[in-house]
Structure formats: structure tokens, C-alpha cells
Amino acid sequence: MIFTVAIDGPAAAGKGTISRAVAARFGFAHLDTGLLYRAVGAKGGDPVAAAESLSAEDLARGDLRSLAAGQAASRVAVIPEVRAALTEFQRRFARQPGGAVLDGRDIGTVICPEAEVKLYVTASPEVRAHRRWLEVGGDEAEVLAEVRERDARDMGRADAPLRPAEEAEILDTSEMTIEAAVAAAVALIEAALGRAR
């Protein structure tokens, strides 16, 4: 069975946590597409060459969850040639037999417009900055400024800007527990699976 779940949204909205949970719940493969961009940014050098030569080892680096890697990812993600190099990889992953969950910024709009389920997971910038600050520490006001700067860059880029797909279900996690957010996503996926069978 080919069944793709596309989960998009801004940084620290909860899409990675939700994606991993629903992939485990349904036995689907999972790809955090942001890791691809983080790995390209972390490799340094020419971003296009880095994207074209990306390997499994690059995705296993221990520093990919840092704020610096996130900022580097956002900078290389605006380069059309980098996006093109990573698009085919993501599309092949998405349509593999057995089902797949991909989370990122443009999965439902660009990578997998034919996805059977599209979710847009969001939360207020303040809530997202607080969550990120709990993860990485530092100055919380600085983290909020970085979240807003990243949102502006991701939403304002010319190529594949961050936005919900037209038919995406919006899941605002600002006031939700992780369990409630996962349960809401699971219910939407179960309904779509029921229609697909």
C-alpha cells in the first residue's frame, strides 16, 4: 500500500514529535526532511555539492539538532538547486510501499501534493520559542527572536515558502499536550486510511 502523510509547520510546533509518534503507531517509515537541510548546512562548503552528495552518515551527525544547524538549514533551503537535489530523494521515500510520514516545510505543497493526509502543525511564536528554549537553553528572548527570524525567512522565500496546503488540516498545538496532539493526528490518519481501503 502506498500511503503518504505530509506534516508541515514552523520550527518547534511539534511536527517532529507527532510525525515520529504516528509513524510508530501505523508502522510507516519516517523522514524528518529538515534533517536533510540541516545536514547540508552542517557540511559546509558549496551547499549544492553538499546536497548532491548527501549520505546516510551525514544524516547521523550528532550536531544536527543545534540552533546553529537549524539556522544553517534555513539559509541553504532558500537555494533552488539545493531544494531540487533533495526533492527526488524525498519523493521516492514518500511513495515507498508500506506507508511513509514526512515532516518539513513544503511536503504537502511541493514534495507530495498527492499525499493522502496533509497536516499543518503550528503554535504561537512564543510557545514555540519556549519549547525550543527548554531544549537548547540560552537566552529565551534571543531564542524567540531567532524563531521569528526563521519564520520570516521560511515563509518569505520565493521557492516553496512555508504555508499550509489548501486541503491541509490545521493542528494548533499552542494549548495542546503532546498526547492530545498525537491523538488528533492519529484520528485524522485513521479516517483517511478507512477511506483508502
Question: Does 41 show up as a binding residue in the annotation?
Answer: no
Q: pTM of the full predicted structure?
A: 0.86
The secondary structure of the chain in percent helix, strand, coil, rounded to multiples of 5, reads: 55, 10, 30
Which residue range(s) make up the domain with 77?
Answer: 4-196
Is residue 14 part of an annotated ligand binding site?
yes
Determine if residue 123 is labeled as part of a ligand binding site. no
Supply 135's cell numbers: 531544549
Q: Could you give the number of structural domains in the chain?
A: 1
Cα separation of 48 and 79, whole Å? 8
**pLDDT of 68 over the 90 cut:** no
Is 194 one of the annotated binding-site residues?
A: no
Nearest to 41 by CA among 103, 83, 99: 83
CATH number assigned to the domain comprising residue 20 = 3.40.50.300
| Digit-coded pLDDT (tens) for 119-136 | 999 999 999 999 999 988
